[in-house]
Structure 1
Amino acid sequence: MSSSSPRTAMARDSKKKKKKRLKGSPVSKLTDDILADIISRVPYKSTCCCKCVSTRWRDLISYQCRNKMPQSIVGFFYEGYNEFRSPKKARYFTNLSRQRYPLVDPSLSFLPNCESLDILDSCNGLLLCRCWKVTDPKTLDYVVCNPTTQKWVAVPATDWSSMVSVARLGFDPAVSSHFHVFEFIDEESWGISEDELDGDCCGRIETLAIYSSKAGAWKYQTVEHGRFSIPKNSVSTFFNGILHLANLFECIVAVDVEGANWWLIDVPELPYYADCIGGIFPSQGRLYFADSDGSKLSIWVLEDYVTGKWTLKHNVSHLQLFRTKYSSYVNNYEVISIHPEHSLVFIVGGVEKTLMSYDMDSRKLCFIRQLGSECKLEWQWWPECGKKAPPFYPHVPLFSESLADEH
């Protein structure tokens, strides 16, 4: 005869039933990839609470394991403009999910007070911002911040920062919590006299300044690797410790974090407009280049830095891409990003600036949302050297609770 009491037996049966329910719950059947994608779409404070759910959830969210998880773009920062509003410019964040409210605060209200603030670049969950000082609107500081955790670091400006148009961010959380800021100083800002300026290359980059958060200082490197000029809104990509930017002479400029190694890589084919530069994006461990020749969209993969060899990964005619539903977008669209882990190309086009995703595997175009006419997509002239398009900054949540010298 069993010595256990009826109460003990009931407790044991209840424990078995609870364990069975947990084992067979829908959440327990989700793969780490799917669960990580779900967790990445909730606010940071809620994510911290999720660590208490189980050991598995805690490990997924922790910084060490975060590096092994697939990155997921949850949305884009961008600017809108309305000449009848004050202020005329406004900053927005649009979710890729169907959530109504933005996952992060586009005002970045946690940053120190400043006269005005501009986003200059985004990289693996961090933003590089330019903060014009309230005490002296002609001077500035750079700020590197994590919109997910609302942590930020001030970066001192150089003597040329207020005149520099192109500053970019390099950061890889899988390597280090430290980051680099790249400041491309053109010949006029550097102080070269007007009669000595290169008339064949407007805005030629003369010097590169690189800030290391680990060293806490700037270093300077004279550019001696060919003539190039970079549009103000040229999309940058930091990949394998190398910063890449498209320039105005049909090539990609690439430089490492020390400024010691440079590459000028010819683009695979010229875009439809000679002064319209395509975008370069990292995805699935490769470097991609997207451009249009007026009749089709082509996606290329870089095979070799030295030879500049590209391989065509995908192309699709505009008729197949937009079909009749979005046929008006053919001459008014822009590739703004490629998903870091999937074959998804993000596109904005049309009068109402429709955000869409195109799956290169299934060849399906998906409508996401309309950003509105205030989001200016039309090409605008960049002084005598080419055109620029308003940038979209992809946001990948970074749940690391540490940032070098953070506030």
Structure 2
Amino acid sequence: MAHYISSPKLCSRFESKNKLSSRCYIDYLSDDLLGQIFTRVPSRSTVACKCVSKRWLSLISNTDFIKQFTSHQHSLFKSMLIFVTPRELMLAFWDQSQHNQSLEIPISFPPDMLIKGKGSSICGCSNGLFLCCNNRYTYGSGYYVYDPLVKGRIDIPDPSPPLTCIENLYAVGFVCKPKQKVTARRSNKHNFRVVIIKSFLVRVSEIKVDVFSSKTGQWNHIVMKIPKGFAFAPHWLLSFSYCGKLYFMGRANIFVFDPYSRKRYTINYPSEADAMNIVSCGFLGISCSRLRIADIRQHDLRVWEHVEKNQWDLLHCIDISTKLPQKFCVNYYKRVAGFHPFDGDIVYLHSYAEGIFVCYLGTRKFEAVPGYEKADISPFQLEISDLLLPQESRAITIN
């Protein structure tokens, strides 16, 4: 498409070779055209463009551009990749079926980085809140809850007596119940629980659990029995939350704990699955309100769905050796990055070197998500609706 330039001032600029040599042709593009370009590059590159000029900084920071960028990124792969820390990505999702099939996501925060501060690690995510730690999360201390909407934090006191010991490692869980009424600015009165369990590699039938309640502001020490026994995996001490429960993956089964009612039970892994491979390279999560497990090996990707008690159905077994790059298939550190919570046909794969791939289970097609190589990906996921300002306060800008 040709554009006729009628402005004498612009014409004189194009006629002057000296001025053209000192400026880039992209400077003459309109804000609309620049915005279209920025929406088509990964968020990491878009954020880096803020440093080019004041004009680009103003354009990329504009609320209308953020909505346009987020909606376009989400439309490509039905997900959005957010840098929650400088080096860690997190998958975020928008449920259009619950929002009148809206194509524009009314997002109220920039997609560059949610959690500020050096040395913070994420060890839990629930209903838009993050459980973070100033140290290694396995130390059992230094936790705080971060709200990215208002950029506020709630420091969690260390258990008494202190759990920290260089010889001990602790598993961590975090769950927050959704608030009944959303206000323009969130208060600090959240109904959440932080759970710490001293890890053990030998199967035991009795465990000690420390639970912090946001209502009381105190820790409770609980001793509970697990009839079928449980043992943590040596390299996985996190959990994911769903419907008020925490799911811990162990060496031979999954420990499910409700810190509100203190109910607990265990779920066995699929009989044909390798439990340690699931813990190392697989994923345990929710898709379409059903519990699913996936694991990935050198040649195949398998997905199971939990039916009842300890019964799992194998939904998909896909040969990946001819569909993905060989470097990805032979990479020992590749893993399943997550399920799409609202579309049961989509699974995300990741490796640090090759980046992120989207797997469409129904058609067995794979698609690379460009621009996210050399980045880690969080085992937790976000629903974008948990990070939106309420309707009456959409005009508020979060800096």
**TM-score, with length taken from structure 2:** 0.60
Secondary structure of 2:362's partner? coil
Aligned-partner residue type, residue 330 of structure 1: C
Q: Is the 8 A contact 2:128 2:383 kept in 1?
A: yes
Show the counterpart of 1:168: 173
Give the paired residue count: 284
Distance in 1, matches of 2:193 and 2:79, equals 22
Displacement, 1:296?
2.0
Show the counterpart of 1:29: none
Secondary structure of 2:327's partner? helix
Q: Is the 8 A contact 2:287 2:342 kept in 1?
A: yes
Show the counterpart of 2:381: 394
Show the counterpart of 1:368: 369
Secondary structure of 2:307's partner? strand
Deviations 1:70-100 (A, max 9, x none): xx75325577xxxxxxxxxx63446789xxx
Distance in 2, matches of 1:283 and 1:326, equals 26
Distance in 2, matches of 1:117 and 1:358, equals 31
Displacement, 1:256?
0.9
Distance in 1, matches of 2:268 and 2:92, equals 33
Q: Is the 8 A contact 2:254 2:268 kept in 1?
A: yes
The percent of aligned pairs where both chains have the same amino acid is 17
Structure 2 unaligned segments of length 5 or more: list them: 1-59, 68-77, 94-108, 182-189, 391-399
Aligned-partner residue type, residue 382 of structure 2: H
> Does residue 1:265 correspond to 2:267, yes or no?
yes
Displacement, 1:44?
11
Distance in 2, matches of 1:156 and 1:76, equals 29
More helix by share: 2
Distance verdict in 2 for CA 1:298–1:173, change over 3 Å = same
Distance in 2, matches of 1:318 and 1:360, equals 11
Show the counterpart of 1:25: none
Distance in 1, matches of 2:370 and 2:222, equals 43
Distance in 1, matches of 2:315 and 2:362, equals 11
Deviations 1:171-206 (A, max 9, x none): 24266842211111236xxxxxxxxxxxx7299984
Distance verdict in 2 for CA 1:356–1:334, change over 3 Å = same
Show the counterpart of 1:55: none
> Does residue 1:296 correspond to 2:296, yes or no?
no
Distance in 2, matches of 1:317 and 1:91, equals 31
Show the counterpart of 2:123: 120
Displacement, 1:294?
4.7
Distance in 1, matches of 2:112 and 2:216, equals 30
Structure 1 unaligned segments of length 5 or more: list them: 1-42, 51-71, 80-89, 188-199, 376-389, 403-407
Distance verdict in 2 for CA 1:153–1:348, change over 3 Å = same
Secondary structure of 2:216's partner? coil
Aligned-partner residue type, residue 129 of structure 1: C
Aligned-partner residue type, residue 183 of structure 1: I
**TM-score, with length taken from structure 1:** 0.59
Show the counterpart of 1:214: 215
Displacement, 1:255?
0.9
Aligned-partner residue type, residue 87 of structure 2: R
Distance verdict in 2 for CA 1:275–1:290, change over 3 Å = closer
Distance in 1, matches of 2:213 and 2:62, equals 30
Correspondence list, 1:345-364, <5 A: 345-349=347-351, 352-364=353-365
Distance in 2, matches of 1:362 and 1:290, equals 17
Aligned-partner residue type, residue 314 of structure 1: H
- Across the aligned residues of Structure 1 and Structure 2, the Cα RMSD in angstroms comes to 3.9
> Does residue 1:281 correspond to 2:285, yes or no?
yes
Displacement, 1:301?
1.2
Q: Is the 8 A contact 1:238 1:244 kept in 2?
A: yes
Aligned-partner residue type, residue 215 of structure 2: K
Secondary structure of 1:224's partner? strand
Distance in 1, matches of 2:378 and 2:90, equals 13
Show the counterpart of 2:37: none
Distance in 2, matches of 1:263 and 1:183, equals 17
Show the counterpart of 2:75: none
Structure 1 segments (4+ residues) deviating >4 Å: 76-79, 94-97, 174-177, 202-205, 270-276
Distance in 1, matches of 2:205 and 2:193, equals 22
Show the counterpart of 2:245: 242
Displacement, 1:366?
1.6
Distance in 1, matches of 2:359 and 2:296, equals 15
Distance verdict in 2 for CA 1:218–1:175, change over 3 Å = farther
